[in-house]
Amino acid sequence: EAGVAQSPRYKIIEKRQSVAFWCNPISGHATLYWYQQILGQGPKLLIQFQNNGVVDDSQLPKDRFSAERLKGVDSTLKIQPAKLEDSAVYLCASSSRDPSGRPRGKGTGELFFGEGSRLTVL
């Protein structure tokens, strides 16, 4: 079974530029998450999708960050304009839930993460 795919793996930009990250979750996983992980910290949830609808985006800085999940599969996270403090690894994860959001498998705790996209803002 293929894992969560993310691209690009690395990106270096200057402040005030824009950047976009792409994520392809595990096939059949209806729930998709974007996390931000700053060096030395735990992942912080930015946005959670159930199919193509947003479940939680309370910690997404909406003045500069946007995310979409068209057709309920792939997702894109965009930052425009970037700030120095946006330097981090952006992790995409998916989990197996049925269309109504109920968890399958090992319950609500198991997320499958991609390798992440490491962003450096200069």
Partner 1 sequence: GQSLEQPSEVTAVEGAIVQINCTYQTSGFYGLSWYQQHDGGAPTFLSYNALDGLEETGRFSSFLSRSDSYGYLLLQELQMKDSASYFCAVTTDSWGKLQFGAGTQVVVTP
Give least dist CB 71 to partner 1, A: 20
Of 76 and 96, nearer to partner 1 (C-beta) is: 96
Count, residues near partner 1 per rule CB under 8 A: 30
Neighbours of 107 (CB within 10 A): 8
CA distances from 100 to 34, 66, 74, 111 (A): 20, 24, 19, 17
Of 65 and 90, nearer to partner 1 (C-beta) is: 90
CA distances from 67 to 28, 60, 121 (A): 20, 9, 19
Catalog residues that contact partner 1 under the rule CB under 8 A.
Answer: 4, 31, 33, 35, 40-45, 48, 50, 55-56, 91, 95, 97, 101, 103, 106-116
